[in-house]
Structure 1
Amino acid sequence: MVVEKKVFVHLYRNLIRTSKQFPYSFREFSLRRIRDAFREGRNETDPVKVQKNFEKAQETLQLIQRQTIINKMYTKGNLVVENKGPKENVDSALKKAH
């Protein structure tokens, strides 16, 4: 079975979307690994290797989905680098730390 490009694109988007549910450090790591893996396999023409890459990406998506569910069960507060509010929010977070 030859995997179509649009199926790979859909899988890639699902991986990215699901990875964005991770906490900051895991999120950045997983996004980088996903992008690197897809760039590496982008020009692959061997149907067997393409199928293996697709299956591995599907397994990775399932793993990330399970892990994000587990992470949601044991949530902690956001890191300072994750705050997207005004500068005052960062300043108040720093004052609380001291």
Structure 2
Amino acid sequence: MKVLALYKQMLREAQKFSSYNYRSYAVRRIQDAFRENKTLKDSMQIQSELEYAQRNLEIIKRQVLVSQLFQVDKLIIEK
């Protein structure tokens, strides 16, 4: 349950990037990382990956804030 909540929170934060390219890259990386680690069985390794994901969530939050300071024009694909 904790993993799913973290996954959803990371995706929600990634959707806040003002740049389409950053947004799509972040979402893709989050999905790939969670998909890659879904077969983990070792509780220590799972805990380690959860801590890593939590640190990355904080990085995403900071980067979203910075990206919102420097607004760019929307791409054609976004309109």
User: Are residue 15 (structure 1) and residue 1 (structure 2) matched?
Assistant: no
Matches of 1:60 and 1:82, distance apart in 2? 26
Using the alignment, how far apart are the partners of 2:68 and 2:28 within structure 1? Answer: 21
**What is the alpha-carbon root mean square deviation over aligned residues?**
0.7
1:28 to 24, 27, 35: 24
Does 2:37 align with 1:71?
no
Residue 38 of structure 1 pairs with residue 34 of structure 2: yes
Give me the identity figure in percent. Answer: 32
- The structure whose RCO (Cα within 8 Å, separation 6+) is larger is 2
**What is residue 56 of structure 2 aligned with on the other side?**
60
TM-score, structure 2 as length reference: 0.94
Q: Which position in structure 2 is the counterpart of 1:90?
A: none
Q: C-alpha separation between the residues in 2 aligned to 1:11 and 1:65?
A: 13
Query: 2:16 is matched by which residue type in structure 1?
Result: Q
The answer for unaligned runs of 5 or more in structure 1 is 1-5, 84-98
Give the structure-1-normalised TM-score: 0.77
> How many residue pairs get matched?
78
Deviation string for 1:39-98 (max 9, x for gaps)?
111110111110111001001100000000011111111111110xxxxxxxxxxxxxxx
